[in-house]
Amino acid sequence: MSNNGGAPYGSDEPTSFGLQPPRPPAGVPHPGSVPHPGNPYAAPTQVVPPQQQSAAQDPGAGRLIAGRYRLLSKLGHGGMGTVWRAKDETVDREVAVKEPRIPDHLPERERANAFERMRREARAAARLDHPSVVNVHDVAVVDGQPWIVMELVQGRSLGAVLQEGTLGAREAARVGLEVLGALEAAHAAGILHRDVKPDNVLLGRHDRVVLTDFGIAQIEGETNLTDTGGFVGSPEYIAPERVLGQRPGPASDLWSLGVVLYAATEGVSPFRRSNTPATLQSVLNATPAAPATAQGPLAEVITGLLQKDPAHRPNAAQTRALLDRAANPPVQAPAPTQVVQLGESGGDGVRVSRKGLFGIAAAFVAVIVAAAGVVVADPFGESEKPDPWAQRSHTNLGVTLSVPKDYKLGKPEADDTDKNWVTYSDLSGAIWVGVEVARKKDDTSGNIKGSAAAQMYADNEEFKSTGEYDLGMPENPTTKTQETQYKGKKSAENTVVYVTNDTQNPRPREVKIFYYRTSEGDMYKVTIAYPGKGDFTERGRDVAKGVIDGLEIKPL
């Protein structure tokens, strides 16, 4: 029952019923943006004074619901509902109000079920007294339809945060502890959430974590609203027993928590596939790779919660103990300082710690090296790359590519006979690297330009007029072209910055493209794409530099 989550633009993004926030036109900036104070995840959020909101922008704004809730502006909308920022004029506070929006073409039974789900959502949340569950203030019935009135939680969904970068192990464990607390409160009240996923976890002000959207919760003793043979929830987070149609229990919600923790540290659910049937098959049969980022107790709890048999998963108490250890690792006592006294004659001398001696030694090394005109590597290893890289040779392309060693090779479709490209990506899919070559001998239409720079400028005109590369690129992105050198020969690079044209979830992206034309006339393009904002941006730029610097082209 989220009501004010964030997005790459920083606009508020509700997640109930898969709602999406209203978006501005491409290229239109957000005026008056300010950050959410106290929220380390928050991107700038659009704040529009009520007097600037217009009914033309949000039809229905200004309407008074149940004689006390004045609708101010839409926070988000979808096929099943709209969430409004509203003013409770009775007690003078802002609230979130969920308006039911049921398509008229639905059969009466399905419409009745949808209304009953909203009532159940309100009842489920209202029964829970926990700081990690949204407070429900009221259910106002308007023309026989329930409008849910709840607290306005300002923050970003974990799903939005993971589009920009993963969480560190300690922060992921802290978030997991809060979600676990909400689930424990729900289970104690006889409620199964059944849709625990990143989009339903809000990261709010003052480190608050809120589990939202009890719209498909199962309340003990109440009738199941799911049609025979169907199930509800997000496939990549659904427990195997639910896929098999077995009766779920608290362990099913804990499975979903395990997938959320995996996604929080790795960037993606380990069961995500290209379509729903394949995803469900992976939930049933696939054994996920051990999380690369999570170590120790966090890795242990993730692995335990993803056991296919619910009887083999850790219970809530065991999960809490492991997460607590991961969130609050023991602090190692600092090594005792060894004091060395220099000088003997009558005075106290000079006392220097061992760390200070290392500093003095390093200074002496620097002085001696400078005097001798010799360059040596950092003796303490501080400049070593944090992530080892690997050389990947592709003889069919005449390319040896340097990429981080954990990047995965992309696989072409079964009917793809084109052998002139290859891709790699990190485990989250947020950063990917592609190499393609256009052969002069196959260029019957004369598309290959006479130089790397000419090809870059020609592609740049395409970017400006139509977008390109099937990356959700709109027309007229920001580009930065430059002519460069590759091993003493002419090359070119273009950096393209844009926001995807996905109307439901626009995201900032950045693409670096390297061009090189061989003496035989073959044109090589190396493309590195990554998020244009967030934790992965600098990482993506580092990868781009490393890939281009390490590129070896040996034409066939």
Secondary structure of 80-114 in HEC code, one letter for each residue: CEEEEEEEECCCCEEEEEEEECCCCCCCHHHHHHH
Question: CA angle, corner 55, sides to 53 and 58, nearest 5?
Answer: 80
Q: For 24-64, give the DSSP string.
A: PPTT---TTEE--TT-TTPPPEE---GGG--TTTSTTTTPE
Q: What is the DSSP letter of 13?
A: B
For residue 60, is it left (φ>0), alpha (ψ between -120 and 50) or beta?
left
Residue 92 known to be catalytic: no
**Contact criterion met (CB below 8 Å) for 9 and 76:** no
12, 58, 88, 195: the catalytic one is 195
E strands in 101-212: 136-142, 145-151, 155-157, 191-192, 201-204, 209-211
Give the Cβ contact number of residue 234 at 10 Å.
19
Question: CA angle, corner 41, sides to 36 and 44, nearest 5?
Answer: 45
Q: Is 512 annotated as a binding residue?
A: no
Q: Spell out a b/e string for 382-416, using b for 16 or more CB atoms within 10 Å of the CB, else e.
A: eeeeeeebeebeeeebbbebbbbeebeeeeeeeee
Q: Which residues are known to be catalytic?
A: 195
Sequence ranges of the binding site: 98
